[in-house]
Amino acid sequence: MRTHPGLFARRSWTCTQCRAHSSVGAQVRKAKTTNLPDAPARTRFAPSPTGYLHLGSLRTALFNYLLAKRTGGQFLLRIEDTDAKRTIPGAEQRLYDDLQWAGLHWDEGPVVGGPYGPYRQSERTALYRSHADKLISDGHAYRCFCSSERLDSHARHRSQAGLAPGYDRTCADISSEQSADRASKGEAHVVRLKVEGYPMFNDLVYGKTGQNKPNSNKLDFIDRVYDDPILLKSDGHPTYHLANVVDDHSMKITHVIRGTEWMSSTPMHMALYNAFKWEPPRFGHVPLLVDKSGQKLSKRNADIDLSSFKDGQGIMPATLVNFASLLGWSHTQKSDIFSLEELEKIFNLKITRGNTVVAFEKMWFLQKAHAQRFATNGGPEFEDLVNKVKASVEESHPPTTFAPLLQNRTLAEYITPLLRADAKSYTTASDFTARNATFFTTELNRETYISTSAAVPIQALHTAAAALSLVPPSHWTEEMHRFNINSYDGSDAVLLSESDAPVSANKLFKKELYHYLRWALSASAPGPGIPETMTILGRDETVRRLQDAKILTQDLVPSVGKRVPKSSKSQENDDRSWMGSLAPGK
Ligand code: GLU
């Protein structure tokens, strides 16, 4: 296939990272593209307690939190519980617990309070009513006394005629005196916003957005209808739109990051801000989360509530927060692994448009990366991991199976170095326990030993293993074993054939020795390296396993062995006196 000759001539391609780091304009470009406000942002997360926190809503909360932290502003939590019928008992508490688990502590909101409370909408009804009254008296809203029967029949009639739904504004012409009088006599009514058109708005992610069309359509000359959304319901409670706008204004919210599912409501919210003559906050809509086949993430395909990640799958908060941060946000850092504190320093509003594909492999990659980070740094997160593995071991193994291995160590003390050595492979506590099962039992089920090289006689491996066992308990350390294995030269024992010639005899021997030791010490299971394994198991258990291995491979010892002496081998710097009589060549 030929490419168009001019295609690459116009502008040479540079990767994002290089562009960010290149030349003088980088800083200017960065400021332009990150969309960060100059002043501290006040953001909020405004969940409805009609469900639990899931991956999508965690991401929304996180982006709002990070924007506030990055700009030195405040992050608020507001409970939007205007829909009492759909409220799930206990959901509010779960939201608090889940946000706290993720480390997204709010500066103002329920539990912690703040200057613009209460932060639960059900406790602010009077405020919404007074604002609805204000809109009525300013002529931006009106009371609608139409019965639901009338509205239903009007809607049916329009639907049968193939017309879009809408309200015919029957009640908009009722005089204000008459309207107030009917309301004061207790006549049921709603309050509608009188919408003449929806303004465009400049979305922080999507740019200029909205329809900017008047509140009418083509067939208006037959049967004119209007959107005129309901602000106050007949039970006197506000709709989401009124409460949301009044609260964002009265809580001095400067930036609203929310899912694209709310994008179609934003023009109406802009109309409300205009009616109140308030300056609206800046809106940024974050794209939909989809699975690999492009389906919206839902309960069926893993947009499950947080408990299934934290309790069900054992995902650590650092992992999930890092994973959520990468859903639609792009950065120019070298690695994708971020702690929450790091994210607070580097977050910006470079959010991708278009659906975000959620790949859960990435989550497991991050889980391992954070486990490794905790293992390196220590601290409460690492202790927490140790305790999780401990609980998993206790659950899966009777104490009698691992008690002989502890040797004056508590189970946690025994697990600590094991986790440190193999944290890079940690996914869940139970997987970790299964992967390292040979550390929790003295019964090893080794397969028959199969060597990788016929050139290395089994006796040479027995000799090396015995030599490695000679280290006294006082020197039984990882460093000592590593040094001993590295400095052990088994070349003399190797029966080099013509085809092996280019390979160094010692290299061949070492490869086989590692292979043998892993088989001997952990039945060939993956896991910590040999020096770490020997240290964790302790001297007695290591020696016992090496002896068992020797017995199991005894029949591989040939009755007559033939050695090919190596002619030129330097003995310089080769002090193996610590091996005593077992040192090769003695
Ligand atoms: N209460 C809405 C929700 O449950 C909030 C939408 C918004 O952030 O404005 O998602």
pLDDT tens series, the chain, 586 aa = 333 333 333 333 333 333 333 333 433 344 455 679 999 999 999 999 999 999 999 999 999 999 999 999 999 999 999 988 999 999 999 999 999 999 999 999 999 999 999 999 999 999 999 999 999 999 999 999 999 999 999 889 888 888 888 898 999 999 999 999 999 999 999 999 999 889 999 999 999 998 755 555 555 556 688 889 999 999 999 999 999 999 999 999 999 999 999 999 999 999 999 999 999 999 999 999 998 888 888 766 666 789 889 988 999 999 999 999 999 999 999 999 999 999 999 999 999 998 999 999 999 999 999 999 999 999 999 999 999 999 999 999 999 999 999 999 999 999 999 999 999 999 999 999 999 999 999 999 999 999 988 889 999 999 999 999 999 999 999 999 999 999 998 888 888 765 656 568 888 899 999 999 999 999 999 999 999 999 999 999 999 999 999 999 998 877 654 444 443 343 434 444 444 444 444 4
The pLDDT score that the predictor gives to residue 225 is 81
- Ligand 1: residue of 262, 263, 282 to mutate (most ligand atoms within 8 A of CB) is 262
Q: What is the dihedral of CA 548, 554, 555, 561, to 10 degrees?
A: 160
Nearby residues of 246 by Cβ (< 8 Å), 6 or more positions away: 124, 127, 128, 131, 238
Among residues 303, 340, 304, 349, which one has the least CA distance to residue 322?
340
Six-digit token pair at 11?
């502008």
Query: Residue 26: what pLDDT?
Result: 39
Please answer whether residues 332 and 20 qualify as being in contact, where contact means their C-beta atoms are separated by less than 8 angstroms.
yes
CB 333 within 8 A of CB 327: no
Residues near ligand 1 with C-beta < 6 Å?
46-48, 80, 244, 258, 262
- Expressed in angstroms and rounded, the spacing between residue 62 Cα and the centre of ligand 1 is 14
Ligand 1 atom at minimal distance to the Cα of residue 44: 8
Structure tokens at 292: 């690999």
User: Hey, what are 168's tokens?
Assistant: 């015919």
Rounded distance from Cα 240 to ligand 1 centre (Å): 8
Q: What is the DSSP code (8-state) at residue 10?
A: S
Pick the atom of ligand 1 nearest to 80's CA: 1
Closest ligand 1 atom, CA of 48?
A: 4
d(CA 570, CA 572): 5
Distance between CA atoms of 383 and 391, rounded to whole angstroms? 12
Question: Which pLDDT score is estimated for 224?
Answer: 80
Q: Which atom of ligand 1 is nearest to the CA of 50?
A: 4
Residue nearest to atom 6 of ligand 1 (CA): 46
Point out the ligand 1 atom lying closest to the alpha carbon of residue 45.
8
> From the CA of 87, how far away is ligand 1's center (Å)?
14
Segments in 35-74 forming alpha helices (H): 55-70
Find the 48 Cα to ligand 1 centroid distance in Å.
Answer: 7
The C-alpha torsion from 542 through 544 and 546 to 550, rounded to 10°, is 180
Question: Mutation test of ligand 1: which of 43, 67, 75, 80 has the most ligand atoms closer than 8 Å to its C-beta?
Answer: 80
Span from the CA of 295 to the centroid of ligand 1 (angstroms)? 22
Beta-carbon count within 10 A of 363 CB:
20
Ligand 1 atom closest to residue 46's alpha carbon, by position in its atom list: 5
- Write down the catalytic residue from 299, 345, 507, 566: 299
Pocket test for ligand 1, best of 48, 88, 99 (most atoms within 8 A of CB): 48
SS3 of residue 397 by DSSP:
coil
Q: According to the model, what pLDDT value does residue 197 have? A: 87
Nearest alpha carbon, ligand 1 atom 3 = 47
- Chain centroid to Cα 394, Å, comes to 28
* C-alpha to C-alpha distance for 74 and 380, rounded to whole angstroms: 27
Q: How far is the CA of 69 from the centre of ligand 1 (A)?
A: 20
Q: Which of 152, 161, 429, 177 is nearest to 313 (CA)?
A: 429
As beta bridge partners, residue 54 has: 305
Question: What is the whole-number distance in angstroms between the Cα of residue 505 and the centre of ligand 1?
Answer: 68
Q: What is the position in ligand 1's atom list of the atom closest to the CA of 258?
A: 8
What residues contact residue 27 under an 8 Å CB cut-off, 6+ apart? none
Is residue 299 annotated as part of the catalytic site, yes or no?
yes
CA of 301 from ligand 1 middle (Å) equals 22
Q: Running DSSP on this structure, what letter comes out for residue 426?
A: -
Measured in Å, residue 404 CA sits from the centre of ligand 1 at 56
Q: 227: left (phi > 0), else alpha (psi -120 to 50), else beta? A: alpha
